Copies of this chain bind each other. A is one copy, B any other.
Amino acid sequence: MISFESDYTTGAHPTVLRRLIETNLEPLSGYGTDPYCESARRKIREACECPDADVHFLVGGTQTNSTVIAALLRDYEGVVAAKTGHVSLHEAGAVEYTGHKVLELPQENGKIQADVLADYLRGFYGDEAYEHMVFPGMVYISHPTEYGTLYTKAELTALAEVCRQYELPLFLDGARLGYGLMSYQTDLTLPDIARLCDVFYIGGTKVGALCGEAVVFTKNNAPRHFFTITKQHGALLAKGRLLGVQFDALFTDNLYFEIGRHAIDMSEKLKRMFAEKGYEFFMDSPTNQQFVILTNEKYEELKKHVVMTWWEPYGEDRSVVRFAASWSTTDDDLAALEKLL
């Protein structure tokens, strides 16, 4: 059985795991105060070219989204997000659970367009009854999006400008950021993102760690007592070393970027392989997931040997199927799949 199911099906990248083993017996203080956390923070600030950034380590994606969003909003504010945003749809209402509305905007390929955002904000303050409504308090985007698509530098710059005009923090969910940064089709760098966003997170769970997300407040804008807020959300890890050691490894010798690049290389090979065999794509994907159209017959046949993700029906007798690459995808996996196609 070969797996293209997701980018979180295998454990940690071997280098990350090795560092956990090497440091295992060192007694270290808890709650993110150990020297590995400190070192990881320093390296992340450097990689972001953001010397004043405040970096916090949390455990998982949904947790990070709801903690950061609740920390930035006042009670009467909501978070603006695409209708297809992860916080809108697939986090079991974690944001609403903290008392805040997700203000959903229409999207294009998973992305919020700057003019759509500007129209919404203008309309909000143009509405006579706006004081009876939830105030837009920040903007949430994901990059790569839930569809694996990417903002261009121009698009992100335009979004950031609208946000600044209305004094709304821009928050980028980078659960799969490594794949976005190393896409063949992106013009956005990590320093660009740090410059344009007010806060974002660098996903570890889906990019080679066992768990962990690094939240970067880029402009000295970490909410007061964010440590306590994290604790209140159940998001403060006692053995903070588990996160510190992993992110220290990921940001040593460019490992985070190499993991991203490897998965992108594998994904591009997948794309070429399917294309050469005459398969159609549901959409063009610049990141580590390919959405391929298979006949249902072919899908059922493949299922015996391959783990992949059924996405949605495509006409009468075909389906969209997602193939994901990760740090652990090998050329052998690809060869085995090719043989089956």
Which of A's residues lie within 8 Å of B, judged by CB? 1, 3, 5-6, 8-12, 14, 17, 20-21, 23-30, 59-67, 70-71, 74-76, 78, 89-94, 96-102, 104, 128-129, 131-135, 205-206, 210-211, 224-225, 227-229, 231-239, 241-242, 307, 310, 328
Contacts and interface: CB of A to CB of B under 8 A. Distances in A.
A181 to B, nearest CB: 20
Contact of A21 (B17, B75, B133): B17
A74 to B, nearest CB: 7
A42 B213 CA distance: 31
B242 A210 contact: yes
B76 A239 contact: no
7 contacts: A59-B60, A60-B236, A65-B234, A97-B233, A132-B231, A205-B239, A234-B234
Contact of A211 (B102, B235, B237): B237
Contacts of A205: 238-239
Contact of A99 (B30, B61, B96, B307): B96
Contact of A30 (B9, B12, B23): B9
A93 B307 contact: no
Nearest to A17: B24
B90 A101 contact: no
Contact of A8 (B71, B92, B239): B239
A93 B211 contact: no
A227 B236 CA distance: 21
Contacts of A17: 20-21, 24
Contacts of A210: 20, 239, 242
B102 A101 contact: yes
Given A11-B23, A307-B27, A91 B132 contact: yes
Given A10-B24, A104-B104, 10 more contacts: A11-B23, A11-B25, A27-B328, A71-B75, A91-B132, A93-B99, A93-B101, A128-B310, A135-B225, A205-B239
B238 A61 contact: yes
Given A206-B238, A237-B60, A11 B20 contact: yes
Contacts of A67: 234
Given A228-B92, A241-B11, A242-B210, A63 B23 contact: no
Given A11-B23, A11-B25, A93 B134 contact: yes
Nearest to A132: B90
Contacts of A10: 24-28
B328 A229 contact: no
B62 A131 contact: no
Given A24-B17, A238-B60, A239-B210, A30 B11 contact: no
A226 to B, nearest CB: 9
A30 B236 CA distance: 22
Contact of A239 (B62, B63, B211, B307): B211
